Structure 1
Amino acid sequence: MEIDAWVWWLIGAVGLGIPLVLTAMPEFGMLSAGAVAGAVVAALGGGVVAQVLVFAAVSVALIAVVRPIAARNSRGRPGLATGIDALKGRQAVVVERVDGSGGRIKLAGEIWSARALDSDTAFEPGQQVDVVEIDGATAVVM
């Protein structure tokens, strides 16, 4: 019993799908889709050259088009800032004079110890400041 070419292409597509699942590399899925396209050409009676050309064309097209779009979308999502990272860049109100040696601010509804980023700068109560970083339990402001 001879196995038709389209069956071999489907076996190849499944074989390429296995590393896709194991490694989460989407390129294997694109190659698998190319193998399915090759199977379609084989089932329609296309020759071996046509099958290989369709496989290559579909695989390369998918990799060239889909991969950059997926990469761009995955980079575009900002990460969710939590903990002290969520406080960086926020504004606070000075409660007690803040200078290079210390002071107090109201940040995110809580009173924090703070110090000025520039030791020569001082902020008076009521002024708004920006939190540059959190150093231990002290907010560094400017």
Structure 2
Amino acid sequence: MAAIVWLVAGILLAAAEMLTGDLTLLMLGGGALLTAGISFTAGTSVIVDAIVFAVVSVVLMLGVRPVLLRHYGKPPLIPTNADALPGKSALVLEPVTEHSGQVKLGGEVWTARPFDPTEEYPEGTKVFVMKIDGATAVVWKGP
């Protein structure tokens, strides 16, 4: 009977991990599932089950979880979306001033403002994206 309780607890903890994503509940679920297996095969008491659960969960939390976080917690090696735009060139479609302007960047039209607020770029100027600030490209003509 205790093995079924540990089995259900393990499955529920592993399923609840989908809501958090920090791998803590998954490690506890793994401890509960291993405890269920030991409890079923050896017919251990509740106290032994609790000790097995504690030991296995601590080993998983301290040994396996950090390795998984290092492996899966890395940002993508190739920048994507707005992170890939700084350094790209753009064409000014409407004059870029401190408060208005548009550029064509990668086939899309973006609102833009100059990197140096005192500068203005006329239509047809080639500029470079310095950063993306929300939905606005911060551009600079360069030296």
* Pairwise same-fold verdict (TM > 0.5): yes
Change in CA separation of 1:123 and 1:56 when aligned onto 2, cut-off 3 Å: same
- Runs of 4+ with >6 A deviation: 46-51
For residues 68 and 135 of structure 1, what CA distance do their matches in structure 2 show? 33
Displacement after TM superposition at 1:140 (Å): 2.9
SS in 2 for 1:139: strand
The corresponding residue for 1:133 is: 132
The corresponding residue for 1:17 is: 10
SS in 1 for 2:73: helix
Q: Is the 8 A contact 2:92 2:121 kept in 1?
A: no
Q: Is the 8 A contact 2:132 2:138 kept in 1?
A: yes
The corresponding residue for 1:3 is: none
Change in CA separation of 1:15 and 1:120 when aligned onto 2, cut-off 3 Å: same
For residues 111 and 8 of structure 2, what CA distance do their matches in structure 1 show? 60
Q: Which runs of 5+ in 2 are unaligned?
A: 18-24
Aligned residues: 129
Task: Give the TM-score, by structure 1 length.
Answer: 0.57
Which of 89, 93, 101 matches 1:92?
Answer: 89
Per-residue CA deviation, residues 80-121 of structure 1 (Å, 9 max, x unaligned), is 965xx4675352234466443555533112454532132123
Q: Is the 8 A contact 1:93 1:105 kept in 2?
A: yes
Q: Is the 8 A contact 1:104 1:114 kept in 2?
A: yes
Per-residue CA deviation, residues 40-88 of structure 1 (Å, 9 max, x unaligned), is 7726xx898876654443232122222223333443244x965xx4675
Q: Which runs of 5+ in 1 are unaligned?
A: 1-6
Counterparts of residues 23-34 of structure 1 (less than 5 Å): 23-24=16-17, 25-34=25-34
Displacement after TM superposition at 1:18 (Å): 4.3
Q: Is the 8 A contact 1:38 1:52 kept in 2?
A: no
Task: Give the TM-score, by structure 2 length.
Answer: 0.57
The corresponding residue for 2:20 is: none
Q: Does 1:72 align with 2:73?
A: no
Aligned-CA RMSD value: 4.0
Q: Is the 8 A contact 2:92 2:103 kept in 1?
A: yes
- For 2:65, give the aligned amino acid: R
Identity %: 26
SS in 2 for 1:76: coil
Q: Does 1:42 align with 2:35?
A: no
Q: Does 1:116 align with 2:111?
A: no
For residues 18 and 140 of structure 1, what CA distance do their matches in structure 2 show? 49
For residues 69 and 33 of structure 2, what CA distance do their matches in structure 1 show? 19
